[in-house]
């Protein structure tokens, strides 16, 4: 199936985990992929993986916490492939743990920049490009922690709830212009992001999911591809949980 043939997509944080899985799957379905990551080597590995499989991708190294870097990634899509049709604003970090008053302010600000301001910058530059292209679709990465709280991940919860609200507001603004904007809310997914957590915390995460296991990056990517595809033509402003019933409890 080549449902994304002729489409160009920007995936941020595509050098690892969920972003990487989505970038590879989108390329396999025919999309031209702009592989953004902070880590040049990681981005290049993914571009090579896509090229080796017969797909088309270019790297765009940059920090999504900086507006000019995000603009650069959108500009790369347009200059390399002529237009931008789709975007997955995915890059994110876990950030400082602990109660609110235990968090260091530098860590707090960085999580807001990388997990929340990044999504604003993304849509700020992606939407005009999609208007030029005659329409588009955007998926923003939130989390179960963009729907429910956690006492010990305050900066992350704050950023991800912000992504949920920003997505709803933007979806309303562009719904009549053929630009769909949705958010995804994964439960705990087995990616390098979780390596930052202490071992006993990692183990305890399994029990929080009624499904009895963590999710995989591919399982999230499948939902992202659906939301970016024409099959989701009437889906906008929605919050898609991919969480083994975590938030259903």
What interhelical angle do 17-28 and 40-52 show, nearest 10? 30
Q: Which of 108, 121, 125, 156 is catalytic?
A: 156
Contact 63, 115 (CB under 8 A): no
Which of 117, 133 has the CB closer to ligand NAD? 117
Question: Cα angle at 195 between 194 and 197, to 5 degrees?
Answer: 70
Q: What is the distance between the alpha carbons of residues 159 and 202, in angstroms, rounded to a whole number?
A: 21
Strand partners for 140: 89, 183
Q: How far is the CB of 107 from ligand NAD (least distance, A)?
A: 13
User: Is-catalytic flag, 246?
Assistant: no
Q: Residue 106 burial (CB < 10 Å; 0-12/13-18/19+)?
A: exposed
Which of 159, 171 has the CB closer to ligand NAD? 159
Which of 55, 59 has the CB closer to ligand NAD? 59
End-to-end CA distance of the chain: 36
Q: How far is the CB of 95 from ligand NAD (least distance, A)?
A: 9
Q: How far is the CB of 233 from ligand NAD (least distance, A)?
A: 25
User: For residue 86, which of 28, 134, 53, 146 has the smallest C-alpha distance?
Assistant: 134
Which of 116, 133 has the CB closer to ligand NAD? 116
Kind and range of the H or E run holding 137: strand 136-141
Q: How far is the CB of 15 from ligand NAD (least distance, A)?
A: 3
Binding residues (CB under 6 A) for ligand NAD: these are 12-13, 15-19, 36-39, 42, 63-65, 90-93, 114-115, 141, 143, 186, 188-189, 191-194
Which of 135, 213 has the CB closer to ligand NAD? 213
What are the backbone angles phi and psi of residue 168, rounded to the nearest 5°?
-60, -45
What are the backbone angles phi and psi of residue 191, rounded to the nearest 5°?
-135, 170
Q: How far is the CB of 177 from ligand NAD (least distance, A)?
A: 26
Q: Catalytic residue numbers?
A: 156
């Amino acid at each position: 199936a080549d449902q994304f043939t002729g489409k160009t997509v920007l995936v941020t944080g595509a050098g690892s985990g969920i972003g990487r899985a989505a970038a590879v799957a989108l390329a396999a379905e025919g999309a031209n992929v702009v592989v953004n990551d902070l880590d040049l080597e990681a981005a290049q590995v993914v571009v090579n993986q896509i090229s080796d499989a017969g797909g088309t991708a270019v790297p765009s190294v940059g920090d999504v916490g900086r507006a000019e870097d995000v603009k650069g990634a959108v500009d790369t899509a347009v200059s390399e492939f002529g237009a931008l049709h789709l975007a997955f604003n995915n890059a994110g970090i876990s950030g400082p743990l602990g109660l609110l008053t235990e968090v260091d302010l530098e860590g707090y600000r960085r999580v807001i920049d990388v997990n929340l301001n990044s999504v604003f910058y993304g849509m700020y530059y992606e939407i005009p490009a999609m208007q030029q292209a005659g329409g588009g679709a955007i998926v923003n990465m939130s989390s179960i922690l963009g729907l429910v709280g956690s006492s010990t991940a305050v900066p992350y919860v704050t950023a991800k709830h912000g992504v949920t609200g920003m997505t709803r507001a933007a979806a309303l603004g562009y719904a009549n212009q053929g630009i769909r904007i949705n958010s995804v809310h994964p439960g705990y997914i087995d990616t390098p992001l979780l390596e930052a957590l202490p071992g006993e915390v990692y183990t305890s995460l399994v029990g929080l999911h009624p499904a009895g296991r963590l999710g995989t990056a591919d399982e999230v990517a499948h939902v992202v591809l659906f939301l970016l595809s024409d099959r989701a033509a009437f889906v906008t402003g929605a919050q898609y949980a991919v969480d083994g019933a975590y938030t259903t409890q």
